[in-house]
A and B are shown apart, each in its own frame.
Chain A
Amino acid sequence: MERPKHFLYPGAIFANTEPYYITTILGSCVAVCLYDPVIKIGGMNHFMLPLWNGQGLASPRYGNIAIKKIIEKLEALGSSRSNIKAKIFGGAEIIATNINQFMIGERNIRIAKDILHEENIQILSSSLGGKLGRKIIFDTYTGEVRQKYVGEKK
């Protein structure tokens, strides 16, 4: 069960053909864990805002970009679309988020569900919303995600 670990920062994505433990910490951010049970690989993103608004670089900080990117990445590593399953986490409403970004967690969740639906990817399980942050560990070989609630985090 010993395998390398990767800490995923907000705005980054990670996927590999080798088994990994991918960990991240989520507040209002959402992480989509994609898993291919056939070839036993997985990948994760961690986005902060739902939609790229055309400002700055089109990075996976934004849900619409991050989700497409992680799907592409898994396909590039040899997964076929019909095998890919998703588990989604995060999107808590943590008080003292930016004032002009109301309901950011809610909107992050919505975009994740919408895009996965559009792309015909089944959501196997999820842990979303609420008021607490989450710490998750994704085993890319078994597809198992362990979650623990944590205190205030962005």
Chain B
Amino acid sequence: MIENGTKVRVDDRFHAGHHRVPGYLKGREGVVTACLGRFPNPEALAYFRPGDPPLALYQVRFRQADLWDGYAGGPADTLDADIYEHWLQQLEDRP
């Protein structure tokens, strides 16, 4: 279980076939803002496997200025994405 406020990095690894991490977030750092529950692994469901054990799903908040070079919006702008635990590395133990 990753606590709210924990800094995380999205794994930048190759994954053939169906996966639920947008390419633009791979390798990016954000902060966990909510645990959204546990869900069967969609990367297994896509191939008619049961998706066990269910994975914890986290809402991760990114700063837009960290995602895009020369981001033209406001400095406080953010992007939230829902990312399963097996794609997240914790950068700190505690918030």
Tell whether A pairs with B: no
B interface residues (Cβ-Cβ under 8 A, vs A): none
